[in-house]
Amino acid sequence: MVLYYPKLQLPNTPDFQLFESSHPFEKYDLIYKNHFWFERSEKSGNGNPANYKLPLRFVWGVLPVDNGNYLDPQSLGKLQLDSNFNMSQKESQSWLLNFCRAIRKQPFYQTTLGALLPNCFIESFMSWMQRRCVDPIDNMDRRPCCEKEHFPYNSTVFDQCIVYAMSDLYETPSEYFIPGMAGPKFSKDQFPTIKAVVVEYDSNYSYSMSYEHMHTFFTQVEEWMNEQLRSAPTSMKRGWFVSDLEFYDLQHVLSQGTIAAIGISMGLALVVLLVATLNILTSFYAILTITCSIFVIMAILVSLGWKLNVLESIAVSTAIGLAVDFSLHYTVHYRLCPTSDNRVKSTRYALANMVGPSLMAATTTSAAGAFMMPSIILPYIQIGIFLITVMSVSWLYATFYLGSLLAVAGPENQFGQFHYSKLLCYFGSKKATRERRTSLTLCDTHELDSLTSKCGHAYSANRTLRRSLSGDKNNVFQYFHDQSPSATSVITIMADDNVM
């Protein structure tokens, strides 16, 4: 139900619901709107708004790379151009012309009335090149940009004439041509060259917030585009398709990122349990309990008709953090039981100490969610349902399921248990051993240096070690002659009063 069918699906409605279904605004969108003819006239055949068609936008010369700062919405990154792109080659001209003709034969193409001057500029450029070489009015010589040149054009002729053609196009009155994204994009050099090309047409798909509708459009056009690029020359191989797919991309990321977020949250919960309990077996039982409770929570939300949107994705990700609380308390108190040699007694100790506080915590959090239920705003209602569901399921699983696991197969006699004191002693002993080895090495080096030095041996052989010990009347002077520099470290000198 969670992983296979029906699982947590993405929205499939064309409108974004903000209020509960019984609200008049939502009733109009869901029921009454389709009974008015002025609403029907603004819809396409598939029930989506027909006043805005998704564009078919194909780009060459620019690499689809997002190198901006993901944490800064204002950071757009730097433009990366395709070094292999070259529109002036004859192969590129011929292939782009065939590409434009193939678009208009596809089922997703929308026929548009009027002159489409910049949409596929290569066709407008070919028409512009059919003009006479000598102007009959002012006798101006237009060569080489005239009818004597034949398509595909020489690279030199193409680079020279395309600039004049686009200049004339942008001087067209606004009634016939409004500059947009489509067309060639030139460099800012003294002699401009084409750095990018955008071909754009309208599709017969209307913009919608339904994931299925947008996914069908994207996959259909993307597969056709990849098929066309297989026959493209090297200079046109890196083209790509884009449209107004921002919300669709968000939904697609949510469908993939939610599962990854659940996995990361489960890993962090396991780390927290290990740090808090230092017991492998109880941590495993706790994470198993949390996993079961999360699946039950998601199954309940799916049964209630939840769709995976922004709020739902956040709720599923935070459910693990809320569900780990009760299991963590039970496992910690199981470990703190004075009689750790009996798992049944340890389980009773944990339940006796934590059933009441955990039940009160679940009740207060569920009450906070219940107070949000009377709201008319749909996100508030969903948050209330989520809090009640998470608290109820997680407390029941932590109390009965985890308690049963600990009573039947819980660790006894400190099995699988680590202690911070032992870990600190272990790392402290390793550090002390390293320091001791270092000090012994330094001492050995010092004695060897004194014995092997040129004047040290003669001095140590002839020197006299004198110790003066103060007493009542008589001072005792003792002289020691030793050629070993370490002899003084083992000599004990005692005063007369200490001799028995």
253 burial via Cβ count (<10 Å: 0-12, 13-18, 19+): exposed
Mean pLDDT of the 254-262 span? 84
pLDDT at residue 75 greater than cutoff 80: yes
Nearest to 326 by CA among 365, 364, 292, 354: 354
Tokens 């039970």 map to which residue? 330
pLDDT of residue 486: 41
Provide mean pLDDT across the span 367-372: 95
Least confident of 244-258, 271-285, 439-453: 439-453
Q: Is 312 helix (H, G, I), strand (E, B) or coil?
A: helix
Q: pLDDT tier at 428 (50, 70, 90 boundaries)?
A: low
pLDDT of residue 324 exceeding 70: yes
pLDDT recorded at residue 442: 46
Q: 188 pLDDT exceeds 90? A: no
Q: What is the C-alpha separation between 44 and 203, in angstroms, rounded?
A: 12
Query: Does residue 342 register a pLDDT over 60?
Result: yes
Query: Cis bond leading into 14, ω under 30°?
Result: no
How far apart CA 354 and CA 373 sit, in angstroms, is: 29
Over range 241-247, report the average pLDDT. Answer: 93
Q: Is the pLDDT of residue 421 over 80?
A: no
Does residue 494 register a pLDDT over 80?
Answer: no
**Where residue 456 falls among pLDDT bands split at 50, 70, 90?**
very low
Instruction: Round to whole Å and give the CA distance between 76 and 96.
Output: 29
* Distance in angstroms (rounded) separating the CA atoms of residues 254 and 258: 6
Kind of pairing between the strands at 183-186 and 194-206: antiparallel
Q: Please, are residues 52 and 207 in contact by the beta-carbon 8 Å criterion?
A: yes
Q: How wide is the angle at C-alpha 422 spanned by C-alphas 416 and 423, nearest 5°?
A: 85
* Model confidence band, residue 448 (pLDDT cutoffs 50, 70, 90): very low
Write phi, then psi, for 79 (nearest 5 degrees): -75, 130
pLDDT above 60: residue 492: no
Pairwise pLDDT comparison (422 vs 495), residue with the higher score: 422
Pairing verdict, β 465-469 and 53-60: unpaired
Closest C-alpha among 132, 103, 122 to residue 162 = 122
Q: What percent of the chain has pLDDT over 90?
A: 39
Q: At 186, is the secondary structure helix, strand, or coil?
A: strand
- Its sign, for the CA torsion 70, 73, 78, 79, is positive
- Token pair 């992983």 in the structure block, residue: 3
- Pick 330 or 137 by higher pLDDT: 330
- Rounded to whole angstroms, the Cα distance separating 28 from 80 reads 47
250-421 falls under which CATH superfamily? Multidrug efflux transporter AcrB transmembrane domain (1.20.1640.10)
User: Where does the pLDDT of residue 116 fall: very low under 50, low under 70, confident under 90, or very high at 90 and above?
Assistant: low
CB 389 within 8 A of CB 377: no
| Residue 154: both structure tokens together | 């020489």
In this structure, of 98-102, 261-265, 483-487, the range with the lowest mean pLDDT score is 483-487
Any idea where the domains of the chain sit in the sequence?
A: 42-68+76-244, 250-421, 464-500
Quote the pLDDT of residue 236. Answer: 95
Greatest mean pLDDT among 77-91, 130-144, 262-276 lies in: 77-91
Rounded Cα gap, residues 175 and 265, in angstroms: 57
pLDDT(11) > 90: no
Q: Does pLDDT of 464 surpass 50? A: no
> Which value, to the nearest 10 degrees, does the dihedral of the CA atoms of residues 252, 255, 257, 259 take?
-160
d(CA 237, CA 86): 11
Most confident option among 10-24, 311-325, 366-380: 366-380
The DSSP code for 46 is T
Query: Is residue 413 very low, low, confident or very high in pLDDT (cuts 50, 70, 90)?
Result: confident
- Please state whether beta strands 194-206 and 240-242 pair in parallel, antiparallel, or not at all (unpaired): unpaired
DSSP assignment of 328-353: HHHHHHHHT-S-TT-HHHHHHHHHHH
Q: Which residues contact 496 (CB under 8 A, 6 or more apart)?
A: 471, 474, 476
2: Cα separation from own chain's centroid: 22
Which residue type sits at 255? S
Q: Length of the chain in residues, anyone?
A: 500
- The answer to which of 43-52, 178-187, 462-471 has the lowest mean pLDDT is 462-471
What integer pLDDT is reported at residue 463 of this predicted model?
41
Look up the pTM and report it: 0.71
> Tens digit of pLDDT for each residue in 125-144?
998 899 888 877 777 888 89
CB–CB of 184/162 below 8 Å? yes
Question: Which secondary-structure segment (H or E) carries 246?
Answer: helix 246-277
- Bigger pLDDT: 424 vs 126: 126
Q: What value does the mean pLDDT of the chain take?
A: 81
**φ/ψ of residue 113, rounded to 5:** -80, 150
Contacts of 53 (CB under 8 A, 6+ apart): 110, 202, 203, 204, 205, 206, 207
The gap from C-alpha 230 to its chain's centroid, in whole angstroms, comes to 31
Predicted local distance difference test score (pLDDT) of residue 117: 63
| pLDDT at residue 485, rounded to an integer | 43
